[in-house]
Protein backbone atom coordinates (compact mmCIF):
# COMPACT_ATOMS: atom_id res chain seq x y z
CA UNK A 1 0.00 0.00 0.00
CA UNK A 2 1.30 3.43 -0.95
CA UNK A 3 0.54 5.96 1.74
CA UNK A 4 2.05 9.39 2.28
CA UNK A 5 -0.03 10.08 5.39
CA UNK A 6 2.30 11.62 7.94
CA UNK A 7 2.57 10.24 11.44
CA UNK A 8 1.80 12.41 14.46
CA UNK A 9 5.53 12.73 15.10
CA UNK A 10 6.21 13.81 11.53
CA UNK A 11 3.43 16.40 11.65
CA UNK A 12 4.79 17.69 14.94
CA UNK A 13 8.28 18.10 13.48
CA UNK A 14 6.90 19.90 10.45
CA UNK A 15 4.87 22.23 12.66
CA UNK A 16 7.92 22.99 14.81
CA UNK A 17 9.97 23.82 11.70
CA UNK A 18 7.14 25.97 10.35
CA UNK A 19 6.81 27.86 13.63
CA UNK A 20 10.55 28.53 13.60
CA UNK A 21 10.37 29.72 10.01
CA UNK A 22 7.37 31.93 10.69
CA UNK A 23 8.48 33.45 14.00
CA UNK A 24 12.27 33.51 13.70
CA UNK A 25 13.20 33.48 9.99
CA UNK A 26 10.47 35.39 8.17
CA UNK A 27 10.66 38.56 10.32
CA UNK A 28 14.36 39.06 9.45
CA UNK A 29 14.74 37.26 6.12
CA UNK A 30 14.42 40.30 3.89
CA UNK A 31 16.80 42.30 6.09
CA UNK A 32 19.43 39.55 5.86
CA UNK A 33 18.89 39.40 2.11
CA UNK A 34 19.32 43.13 1.70
CA UNK A 35 22.51 43.33 3.73
CA UNK A 36 23.93 39.90 2.88
CA UNK A 37 24.72 39.31 6.54
CA UNK A 38 25.43 36.03 8.29
CA UNK A 39 22.52 34.66 10.44
CA UNK A 40 24.58 33.44 13.38
CA UNK A 41 21.78 33.97 15.89
CA UNK A 42 19.47 31.78 13.82
CA UNK A 43 22.12 29.09 13.50
CA UNK A 44 22.37 28.92 17.28
CA UNK A 45 18.59 28.88 17.78
CA UNK A 46 18.05 26.21 15.14
CA UNK A 47 20.78 24.05 16.64
CA UNK A 48 19.21 24.35 20.10
CA UNK A 49 15.84 23.23 18.73
CA UNK A 50 17.33 20.23 16.95
CA UNK A 51 16.56 21.56 13.47
CA UNK A 52 20.18 20.98 12.48
CA UNK A 53 22.03 17.66 12.23
CA UNK A 54 18.84 15.69 12.84
CA UNK A 55 19.97 13.14 10.22
CA UNK A 56 22.93 11.98 12.33
CA UNK A 57 22.64 8.45 13.71
CA UNK A 58 21.89 8.51 17.41
CA UNK A 59 25.26 6.96 18.29
CA UNK A 60 26.96 10.13 17.02
CA UNK A 61 24.71 12.56 18.86
CA UNK A 62 21.95 12.98 16.29
CA UNK A 63 18.23 12.30 16.31
CA UNK A 64 18.52 9.58 13.67
CA UNK A 65 15.65 10.99 11.62
CA UNK A 66 14.83 9.63 8.19
CA UNK A 67 15.19 11.39 4.87
CA UNK A 68 11.46 12.11 4.65
CA UNK A 69 11.51 13.86 8.02
CA UNK A 70 14.48 15.89 6.83
CA UNK A 71 12.56 16.97 3.74
CA UNK A 72 9.58 18.03 5.84
CA UNK A 73 11.84 20.28 7.88
CA UNK A 74 13.71 21.67 4.87
CA UNK A 75 10.55 22.65 3.02
CA UNK A 76 9.35 24.68 6.00
CA UNK A 77 12.70 26.37 6.61
CA UNK A 78 12.97 27.30 2.92
CA UNK A 79 9.41 28.64 3.05
CA UNK A 80 10.84 31.05 5.61
CA UNK A 81 14.00 31.85 3.60
CA UNK A 82 15.93 29.49 1.36
CA UNK A 83 19.18 31.36 1.98
CA UNK A 84 18.93 30.94 5.72
CA UNK A 85 17.70 27.37 5.21
CA UNK A 86 20.79 26.61 3.13
CA UNK A 87 22.99 27.87 5.95
CA UNK A 88 21.15 25.75 8.51
CA UNK A 89 21.01 22.51 6.54
CA UNK A 90 24.31 22.42 4.64
CA UNK A 91 25.88 20.25 7.33
CA UNK A 92 23.85 17.46 5.77
CA UNK A 93 25.83 17.70 2.55
CA UNK A 94 29.22 17.87 4.27
CA UNK A 95 28.48 15.01 6.63
CA UNK A 96 26.84 12.57 4.21
CA UNK A 97 30.20 11.29 2.89
CA UNK A 98 31.42 10.89 6.47
CA UNK A 99 28.36 8.89 7.48
CA UNK A 100 28.63 6.80 4.31
CA UNK A 101 32.31 5.96 4.26
CA UNK A 102 34.47 7.37 7.06
CA UNK A 103 36.06 5.37 9.85
CA UNK A 104 34.36 5.12 13.21
CA UNK A 105 37.04 7.34 14.70
CA UNK A 106 36.36 10.15 12.22
CA UNK A 107 32.61 9.83 12.67
CA UNK A 108 32.83 10.07 16.44
CA UNK A 109 35.24 12.99 16.39
CA UNK A 110 33.81 15.18 13.65
CA UNK A 111 30.11 14.38 13.77
CA UNK A 112 30.48 14.74 17.51
CA UNK A 113 31.77 18.29 17.12
CA UNK A 114 28.61 19.31 15.24
CA UNK A 115 26.36 17.50 17.70
CA UNK A 116 27.96 19.12 20.74
CA UNK A 117 27.98 22.76 19.57
CA UNK A 118 26.41 24.92 16.83
CA UNK A 119 29.31 24.38 14.44
CA UNK A 120 29.30 24.03 10.67
CA UNK A 121 30.99 21.90 8.03
CA UNK A 122 31.39 22.44 4.28
CA UNK A 123 31.34 20.19 1.22
CA UNK A 124 34.20 21.02 -1.18
CA UNK A 125 33.80 19.55 -4.66
CA UNK A 126 33.40 22.41 -7.17
CA UNK A 127 36.42 24.24 -8.60
CA UNK A 128 36.77 27.20 -10.98
CA UNK A 129 37.43 24.81 -13.90
CA UNK A 130 35.52 21.80 -12.57
CA UNK A 131 31.82 22.30 -11.96
CA UNK A 132 29.63 19.79 -13.73
CA UNK A 133 32.82 18.12 -15.02
CA UNK A 134 34.06 16.75 -11.72
CA UNK A 135 36.87 14.81 -13.41
CA UNK A 136 38.46 18.12 -14.41
CA UNK A 137 39.36 19.03 -10.82
CA UNK A 138 42.92 20.18 -10.22
CA UNK A 139 43.13 19.95 -6.43
CA UNK A 140 45.60 17.22 -5.53
CA UNK A 141 46.37 15.10 -2.50
CA UNK A 142 49.79 13.44 -2.23
CA UNK A 143 50.69 10.84 0.38
CA UNK A 144 53.87 11.70 2.29
CA UNK A 145 54.61 9.26 5.07
CA UNK A 146 51.80 9.38 7.59
CA UNK A 147 50.31 12.55 6.06
CA UNK A 148 48.30 13.65 3.06
CA UNK A 149 49.33 17.00 1.56
CA UNK A 150 46.52 18.83 -0.23
CA UNK A 151 46.95 21.65 -2.74
CA UNK A 152 44.28 23.47 -4.71
CA UNK A 153 41.18 25.61 -4.35
CA UNK A 154 37.44 25.08 -4.22
CA UNK A 155 34.81 27.65 -5.18
CA UNK A 156 31.14 28.27 -4.38
CA UNK A 157 31.56 26.59 -1.01
CA UNK A 158 28.49 27.01 1.19
CA UNK A 159 29.35 28.08 4.76
CA UNK A 160 33.00 28.12 3.66
CA UNK A 161 33.93 31.10 5.84
CA UNK A 162 32.39 29.60 8.96
CA UNK A 163 33.11 25.88 8.68
CA UNK A 164 34.89 24.02 11.45
CA UNK A 165 35.93 21.31 8.99
CA UNK A 166 35.64 20.47 5.30
CA UNK A 167 34.85 17.39 3.24
CA UNK A 168 37.31 17.80 0.36
CA UNK A 169 37.63 15.94 -2.93
CA UNK A 170 41.07 15.82 -4.54
CA UNK A 171 42.94 13.96 -7.25
CA UNK A 172 45.15 11.17 -5.95
CA UNK A 173 45.77 9.85 -9.46
CA UNK A 174 45.99 12.71 -11.95
CA UNK A 175 45.76 10.46 -15.00
CA UNK A 176 42.69 8.47 -13.99
CA UNK A 177 39.92 11.05 -14.47
CA UNK A 178 37.03 10.54 -12.08
CA UNK A 179 38.54 7.20 -11.05
CA UNK A 180 41.47 9.06 -9.52
CA UNK A 181 39.50 11.16 -7.03
CA UNK A 182 39.61 10.60 -3.28
CA UNK A 183 37.65 12.11 -0.40
CA UNK A 184 39.25 13.68 2.68
CA UNK A 185 38.19 15.25 5.95
CA UNK A 186 40.16 18.47 6.48
CA UNK A 187 39.98 20.39 9.79
CA UNK A 188 39.94 24.16 9.39
CA UNK A 189 42.92 24.56 11.70
CA UNK A 190 45.07 22.43 9.36
CA UNK A 191 45.68 25.65 7.43
CA UNK A 192 42.62 26.15 5.24
CA UNK A 193 42.48 29.68 3.82
CA UNK A 194 39.24 31.49 3.01
CA UNK A 195 40.12 33.47 -0.09
CA UNK A 196 36.94 35.11 -1.35
CA UNK A 197 33.41 35.92 -0.20
CA UNK A 198 30.89 35.78 -3.05
CA UNK A 199 28.34 38.58 -3.45
CA UNK A 200 25.35 36.70 -4.86
CA UNK A 201 22.17 37.54 -6.72
CA UNK A 202 20.02 35.45 -4.40
CA UNK A 203 20.17 33.40 -1.20
CA UNK A 204 22.25 36.25 0.14
CA UNK A 205 21.85 35.11 3.76
CA UNK A 206 23.84 31.98 2.95
CA UNK A 207 27.61 32.21 2.96
CA UNK A 208 29.43 31.25 -0.23
CA UNK A 209 33.22 31.38 -0.41
CA UNK A 210 36.37 30.21 -2.14
CA UNK A 211 38.63 28.12 0.08
CA UNK A 212 42.29 27.42 -0.63
CA UNK A 213 44.57 24.56 0.39
CA UNK A 214 48.28 25.43 0.25
CA UNK A 215 50.33 22.43 1.36
CA UNK A 216 47.64 21.59 3.90
CA UNK A 217 48.71 18.50 5.83
CA UNK A 218 46.23 16.10 7.36
CA UNK A 219 46.76 12.72 9.04
CA UNK A 220 46.69 9.71 6.74
CA UNK A 221 43.63 8.36 8.53
CA UNK A 222 41.61 11.42 7.38
CA UNK A 223 41.09 9.73 4.03
CA UNK A 224 37.34 9.01 3.78
CA UNK A 225 36.68 5.57 2.34
CA UNK A 226 39.18 4.06 -0.06
CA UNK A 227 41.79 5.87 -2.12
CA UNK A 228 40.54 6.74 -5.63
CA UNK A 229 36.94 5.92 -4.69
CA UNK A 230 35.88 9.50 -3.96
CA UNK A 231 33.76 9.97 -7.07
CA UNK A 232 31.48 7.11 -6.04
CA UNK A 233 31.15 8.61 -2.56
CA UNK A 234 30.26 12.01 -4.07
CA UNK A 235 27.57 10.53 -6.31
CA UNK A 236 26.08 8.51 -3.45
CA UNK A 237 26.10 11.69 -1.37
CA UNK A 238 24.19 13.67 -3.98
CA UNK A 239 21.56 10.95 -4.28
CA UNK A 240 20.95 11.48 -0.56
CA UNK A 241 20.98 15.28 -0.55
CA UNK A 242 19.07 16.12 -3.72
CA UNK A 243 15.72 15.32 -2.08
CA UNK A 244 16.55 18.05 0.43
CA UNK A 245 17.21 20.56 -2.36
CA UNK A 246 13.92 19.54 -3.95
CA UNK A 247 12.20 20.14 -0.61
CA UNK A 248 13.74 23.60 -0.40
CA UNK A 249 12.56 24.36 -3.93
CA UNK A 250 9.07 23.25 -2.95
CA UNK A 251 9.16 25.60 0.03
CA UNK A 252 10.24 28.56 -2.10
CA UNK A 253 7.56 27.85 -4.70
CA UNK A 254 4.93 27.48 -2.00
CA UNK A 255 5.90 30.79 -0.44
CA UNK A 256 5.67 32.55 -3.82
CA UNK A 257 2.28 30.98 -4.53
CA UNK A 258 0.93 32.09 -1.16
CA UNK A 259 2.12 35.66 -1.70
CA UNK A 260 0.55 35.67 -5.16
CA UNK A 261 -2.77 34.34 -3.85
CA UNK A 262 -2.90 36.94 -1.08
CA UNK A 263 -2.03 39.78 -3.44
CA UNK A 264 -4.50 38.63 -6.12
CA UNK A 265 -7.35 38.83 -3.60
CA UNK A 266 -6.41 42.38 -2.58
CA UNK A 267 -5.42 43.97 -5.88
CA UNK A 268 -8.43 45.43 -7.71
CA UNK A 269 -8.43 45.98 -11.47
CA UNK A 270 -11.42 46.54 -13.74
CA UNK A 271 -13.62 46.81 -10.67
CA UNK A 272 -12.87 43.39 -9.12
CA UNK A 273 -9.95 41.65 -7.34
CA UNK A 274 -7.62 40.26 -9.98
CA UNK A 275 -8.21 36.80 -8.48
CA UNK A 276 -11.58 36.97 -10.23
CA UNK A 277 -9.92 37.16 -13.65
CA UNK A 278 -9.45 33.82 -15.38
CA UNK A 279 -5.96 34.75 -16.56
CA UNK A 280 -4.81 35.04 -12.94
CA UNK A 281 -6.76 31.97 -11.87
CA UNK A 282 -4.94 29.86 -14.45
CA UNK A 283 -1.57 31.14 -13.22
CA UNK A 284 -2.49 30.27 -9.63
CA UNK A 285 -3.77 26.85 -10.70
CA UNK A 286 -0.49 26.07 -12.48
CA UNK A 287 1.44 27.18 -9.41
CA UNK A 288 -0.60 24.87 -7.21
CA UNK A 289 -0.03 21.89 -9.50
CA UNK A 290 3.72 22.47 -9.61
CA UNK A 291 4.01 22.80 -5.82
CA UNK A 292 1.90 19.68 -5.29
CA UNK A 293 3.84 17.52 -7.75
CA UNK A 294 7.19 18.85 -6.51
CA UNK A 295 6.30 17.73 -3.01
CA UNK A 296 5.17 14.30 -4.15
CA UNK A 297 8.37 13.74 -6.16
CA UNK A 298 10.44 14.93 -3.21
CA UNK A 299 8.72 12.65 -0.74
CA UNK A 300 8.98 9.66 -3.08
CA UNK A 301 12.74 10.14 -3.56
CA UNK A 302 13.21 10.45 0.22
CA UNK A 303 11.05 7.46 1.10
CA UNK A 304 13.07 5.22 -1.24
CA UNK A 305 16.19 6.12 0.75
CA UNK A 306 14.39 5.43 4.02
CA UNK A 307 13.51 2.01 2.63
CA UNK A 308 17.15 1.33 1.81
CA UNK A 309 16.57 1.49 -1.94
CA UNK A 310 18.50 3.18 -4.70
CA UNK A 311 16.95 6.54 -5.64
CA UNK A 312 19.28 7.98 -8.28
CA UNK A 313 16.57 8.43 -10.89
CA UNK A 314 13.92 9.60 -8.46
CA UNK A 315 16.20 12.12 -6.72
CA UNK A 316 17.13 13.62 -10.10
CA UNK A 317 13.45 13.74 -11.10
CA UNK A 318 12.62 15.53 -7.87
CA UNK A 319 15.52 17.95 -7.91
CA UNK A 320 15.08 18.84 -11.59
CA UNK A 321 11.30 19.25 -11.48
CA UNK A 322 11.10 21.05 -8.14
CA UNK A 323 13.92 23.48 -8.95
CA UNK A 324 12.56 24.29 -12.41
CA UNK A 325 9.09 24.66 -10.91
CA UNK A 326 10.37 27.02 -8.23
CA UNK A 327 11.88 29.24 -10.91
CA UNK A 328 8.63 29.17 -12.90
CA UNK A 329 6.36 29.76 -9.90
CA UNK A 330 8.40 32.64 -8.51
CA UNK A 331 8.57 34.26 -11.95
CA UNK A 332 4.81 33.92 -12.29
CA UNK A 333 4.34 35.38 -8.81
CA UNK A 334 6.21 38.48 -9.94
CA UNK A 335 3.90 38.55 -12.98
CA UNK A 336 0.81 38.45 -10.76
CA UNK A 337 2.13 41.48 -8.87
CA UNK A 338 2.77 43.26 -12.18
CA UNK A 339 5.11 46.23 -11.91
CA UNK A 340 5.03 46.03 -8.12
CA UNK A 341 6.61 42.59 -8.30
CA UNK A 342 9.72 44.20 -9.78
CA UNK A 343 10.12 46.51 -6.80
CA UNK A 344 12.20 45.44 -3.80
CA UNK A 345 9.51 46.71 -1.45
CA UNK A 346 7.49 43.64 -2.42
CA UNK A 347 8.75 40.28 -1.26
CA UNK A 348 8.28 38.13 -4.34
CA UNK A 349 11.31 39.57 -6.16
CA UNK A 350 13.55 38.03 -3.48
CA UNK A 351 11.95 34.64 -4.00
CA UNK A 352 12.58 34.85 -7.74
CA UNK A 353 16.26 35.65 -7.12
CA UNK A 354 16.56 32.89 -4.54
CA UNK A 355 14.98 30.29 -6.82
CA UNK A 356 17.61 30.53 -9.53
CA UNK A 357 20.40 28.86 -7.57
CA UNK A 358 18.17 25.83 -6.99
CA UNK A 359 18.58 25.05 -10.69
CA UNK A 360 22.36 25.23 -10.33
CA UNK A 361 23.76 23.80 -7.12
CA UNK A 362 24.05 20.08 -6.33
CA UNK A 363 23.88 19.37 -10.05
CA UNK A 364 22.44 21.73 -12.65
CA UNK A 365 19.09 21.09 -14.29
CA UNK A 366 21.00 19.93 -17.35
CA UNK A 367 23.07 17.43 -15.35
CA UNK A 368 19.84 16.10 -13.83
CA UNK A 369 18.51 15.55 -17.34
CA UNK A 370 21.67 13.63 -18.23
CA UNK A 371 21.20 11.42 -15.17
CA UNK A 372 17.53 10.92 -15.97
CA UNK A 373 18.32 10.05 -19.59
CA UNK A 374 21.01 7.57 -18.54
CA UNK A 375 18.82 5.92 -15.94
CA UNK A 376 15.87 5.79 -18.34
CA UNK A 377 17.82 4.40 -21.29
CA UNK A 378 19.66 1.91 -19.08
CA UNK A 379 17.06 1.26 -16.40
CA UNK A 380 17.71 -0.54 -13.15
CA UNK A 381 15.07 -2.01 -10.93
CA UNK A 382 13.80 0.63 -8.49
CA UNK A 383 13.59 -1.93 -5.71
CA UNK A 384 17.28 -2.79 -5.94
CA UNK A 385 19.12 -2.11 -2.65
CA UNK A 386 21.29 0.97 -2.36
CA UNK A 387 24.98 0.31 -3.13
CA UNK A 388 27.26 -0.29 -0.21
CA UNK A 389 29.36 2.59 1.06
CA UNK A 390 32.69 2.94 -0.70
The catalytic residue positions are 362
| Termini Cα distance of the chain | 33
Q: What is the CA radius of gyration of the chain?
A: 21
User: What is the distance between the alpha carbons of residues 15 and 73, in angstroms, rounded to a whole number?
Assistant: 9
User: What is the distance between the alpha carbons of residues 110 and 120, in angstroms, rounded to a whole number?
Assistant: 10
β-strand pairing of 165-171 with 121-124: parallel
C-alpha closest to that of 36 among 216, 191, 161: 161
User: What is the distance between the alpha carbons of residues 325 and 246, in angstroms, rounded to a whole number?
Assistant: 10
8 Å CB contact between 130 and 180: no
C-alpha closest to that of 165 among 144, 188, 181: 188
C-alpha closest to that of 355 among 383, 333, 378: 333
> What are the helix (H) ranges across the chain?
8-20, 26-35, 40-49, 67-80, 82-89, 91-101, 104-106, 112-116, 230-266, 278-306, 312-337, 348-358, 365-377
Please, what is the angle between helix 348-358 and helix 26-35, to 10°? 70
Is the Cα dihedral 192, 236, 95, 103 positive or negative?
A: negative
By residue count, the chain amounts to 390
Helix (H) or strand (E) holding 159: none
8 Å CB contact between 175 and 140: no
8 Å CB contact between 216 and 191: yes
Amino acid sequence: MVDFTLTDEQRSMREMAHDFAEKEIRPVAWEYDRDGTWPQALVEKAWELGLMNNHFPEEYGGAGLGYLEGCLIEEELAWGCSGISTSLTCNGLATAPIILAASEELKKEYLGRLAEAPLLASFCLTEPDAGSDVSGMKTTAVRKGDKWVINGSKCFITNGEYANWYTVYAKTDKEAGHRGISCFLVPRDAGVIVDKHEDKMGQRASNTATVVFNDVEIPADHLVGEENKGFKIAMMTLDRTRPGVAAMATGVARAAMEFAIEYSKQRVQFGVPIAMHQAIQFIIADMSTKVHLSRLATWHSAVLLDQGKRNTLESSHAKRFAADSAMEVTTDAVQVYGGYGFIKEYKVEKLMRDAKILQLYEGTAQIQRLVIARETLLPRRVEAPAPAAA
